[in-house]
Structure 1
Amino acid sequence: MSSSYLVALGSNQRHHSHGFPRDVVRVAMEELAALGKVTARSRVIATDPLGPARRCFANAALVLESEYDPPSLLKGLKQIERTFGRRQGRRWGDRVLDLDIVLWSGGVFAEPLLTIPHPEFRSRDFVLKPANEIAPAWRDPVTGLSVRQLCARV
């Protein structure tokens, strides 16, 4: 049974073969097709650093149709991050690639390593702006608000 996922992508470090963060995000969007069918992609936008990160980010979102359940998809996303050179480090630090499951067609999911909806997405314009381009009618199963409504509040 296939599920739909809204996935957020971000980068603020250059990659040795993919180039600048904007290019890293674009290549990562292609790589995500290994986990299912990409049915929608936002533009890549530039955003200010968050927390201890020092460099500006490139951010985007996509909708992925996948046979994977949420924990399996998370494993796949983490594997893609590692192939791009992502290393575990401090929260919100500089990174080559960050991939997050924001929303899932199955509603709410909660395990120690994964919470859907993403706990902080409602206050992050760098997630909501790209998401609003491709999935404005998707609803947050916790608040009942659409991505469009959440984006208007940020």
Structure 2
Amino acid sequence: MPSTYLIALGSNRRHHRYGAPQAVVQAAMEELAAFGTVTARSPIIATPAMGAAQRRFANAAAVLESELDPPSLLAACKHTERAFGRRPGQRWGDRVLDLDIVLWSGGVWASKMLTIPHPAFAQRRFVLDPACAIAADWRTRPRGLRLIHHQARLTRPRPLPR
């Protein structure tokens, strides 16, 4: 039986064939079909640079139905990143393509190489905003909150310090 995955996509560097980061993310969404059936694609949004990155990012999310287990899907995503020209480098630096497995219909996965849910997804608007556009009601484990609730927690106004 296939599993369902939420995949986050991001780029902030041009690609020699696809061009600007938005086009890189669009091409990568098409490549995900090699791993199963893409059942939903979010709009591609522009987001500010984070960490050591210098350029704005193009970010999106996709829902993928796949026969691959989480480690096999991770290996396929890493292979795709390398095929798009990603090289090992500085954490949170500029990159041609970043593919992250955020959620899995099987719930929680923990190994040396992969943790699902993605450990930082609930603190990242660049993940939650596109994800909520296509899967707002997806319940996350272990707490059972829907993605829309994580987004609300991250974006709700907070009082100014006194």
TM exceeds 0.5? Answer: yes
Q: How far is 1:144 from its partner?
A: 1.4
Query: Aligned with 1:92: secondary structure?
Result: coil
Q: 2:19 is matched with which residue?
A: 19
Query: Aligned with 1:5: secondary structure?
Result: strand
Q: One-letter code of the match for 2:30?
A: E
Q: 1:116 is matched with which residue?
A: 116
Q: One-letter code of the match for 1:87?
A: R
Deviations 1:56-114 (A, max 9, x none): 00000000000000000000000100110000111100000000000000000000000
Q: For 1:90 and 1:132, how far apart are their aligned partners in 2? A: 29
Q: For 1:136 and 1:20, how far apart are their aligned partners in 2? A: 28
Q: How far is 1:143 from its partner?
A: 2.2
Q: For 2:3 and 2:144, how far apart are their aligned partners in 1? A: 19
* TM-score of the aligned structures, taking structure 2 as reference length: 0.94
Task: After TM superposition, list the pairs within 5 Å mapping 1:129-140 onto structure 2.
Answer: 129-140=129-140
Deviations 1:8-60 (A, max 9, x none): 00000000110000000000000000000000000000000010000000000
Paired residues in the alignment total 154
Task: After TM superposition, list the pairs within 5 Å mapping 1:54-65 onto structure 2.
Answer: 54-65=54-65
Q: Which runs of 4+ in 1 moved over 6 A?
A: none
Q: 1:104 is matched with which residue?
A: 104
Q: For 1:116 and 1:22, how far apart are their aligned partners in 2? A: 26
Task: After TM superposition, list the pairs within 5 Å mapping 1:24-103 onto structure 2.
Answer: 24-103=24-103
Q: One-letter code of the match for 2:53?
A: A
* Identical positions, percent: 64
Query: Aligned with 2:50: secondary structure?
Result: coil
Q: How far is 1:142 from its partner?
A: 1.9
Q: For 1:93 and 1:139, how far apart are their aligned partners in 2? A: 30
Q: One-letter code of the match for 1:122?
A: A
Q: For 2:101 and 2:115, how far apart are their aligned partners in 1? A: 9
Runs of 5+ in structure 2 lacking a partner?
A: 155-162
Find the structure with the greater CA-based Rg.
2
Q: For 1:122 and 1:143, how far apart are their aligned partners in 2? A: 12
